Amino acid sequence: MRLHVKIDEIRYQEAIVLSEVDFQVQPGEVLALFGKNGTGKSSLFRSIMGIHGDWNGTIQLGEKTLQRAQPHELRALGLAYMPQSRPVFDRLSIRDNLRASTIGGSSELAVTHRLLNESLKSRFHDNASVLSGGEKQALGLSMIFATDPKIALLDEPCASLSAAASAKILSFIKEQTQETGMSVLIIEQKVQELIAIADKVLIFADHRVAYNGNVLTIPTHLYNHLCA
């Protein structure tokens, strides 16, 4: 499903946090979003998902144009969102976390294969509270992908993870897009690692989009600035 986002501005109270955003994501594509903290990336995700309401513009899913849609309506249309905070219920088992994410959707048996960490399969009845940070990220992503989304918005899924854990998660995300045709939008600080799996890039600066295009044609000065 094609996603077309065209936003004139996003506001918090009187402040404009992001303006003049216009991009498209095709089925199976990975869109990387880069920029310093406070440039409006997370606000963009929250606006798309109907969590933040003070914005002007349009969101188009396929041929359907949405304005002020509620989060549950967007989920029903195939959008999934993973915020920066790990969306894991510590008091629930791994199995029950997956069940909670798939209410009204996939069956438990249909989603167990999506677990990123093979060791988690043998610990299906353990509480999520005993998992490491990387394992919680893996479980959180599995909860997202278990809903079989058409489009997933992931806000720093590799935050605070080791290079090895990050590489495994990003590799899994790329595999999912290739296998299912799902589109993924990712905010991440690990520039080189995410560029390696991305098809398109949005770079934010001064609350605007400084670059919107193919990952292979990022201007050198912008790339060097990101990697600095």
Domains, in order of start, for the chain = 3-89+149-227 (3.40.50.300)
- Are 71 and 49 in contact by the 8 Å Cβ rule? The answer is yes
Closest C-alpha to 30, from 55, 3, 64, 49: 3
Tokens matching residue 138: 């893996």
Instruction: Confirm whether pTM is higher than 0.85.
Output: yes
First to last CA, the chain: 35
Give the C-alpha distances (Å, rounded to integers) separating 66 from 40, 48, 69.
21, 10, 6
Per the structure block, which two tokens stand in for 21?
Answer: 């955003």
pLDDT one digit per residue (tens) for the chain, 228 residues: 899 999 999 998 889 999 999 999 999 999 999 998 888 999 999 999 989 888 999 999 988 888 777 888 888 899 999 998 767 899 999 888 888 877 555 544 444 555 555 667 778 889 999 988 878 888 888 888 888 899 999 999 988 788 888 888 898 899 889 988 999 999 999 999 999 999 999 999 988 999 999 999 999 989 888 887
Task: Give residue 225's pLDDT.
Answer: 84
Q: What is the pLDDT of residue 80?
A: 92
Separation between Cα atoms, residue 83 and residue 138, nearest integer Å? 14
Q: Ramachandran region of residue 93, left (φ > 0), alpha (ψ -120 to 50) or beta? A: beta
In terms of DSSP bridges, do strands 151-155 and 183-187 run parallel, antiparallel, or are they unpaired? parallel
pLDDT per residue over 52-101, tens digit each? 888 999 999 988 888 777 888 888 899 999 998 767 899 999 888 888 87
* 202 to 39, 77, 95, 193, 205: CA distances (angstroms): 12, 24, 36, 15, 10
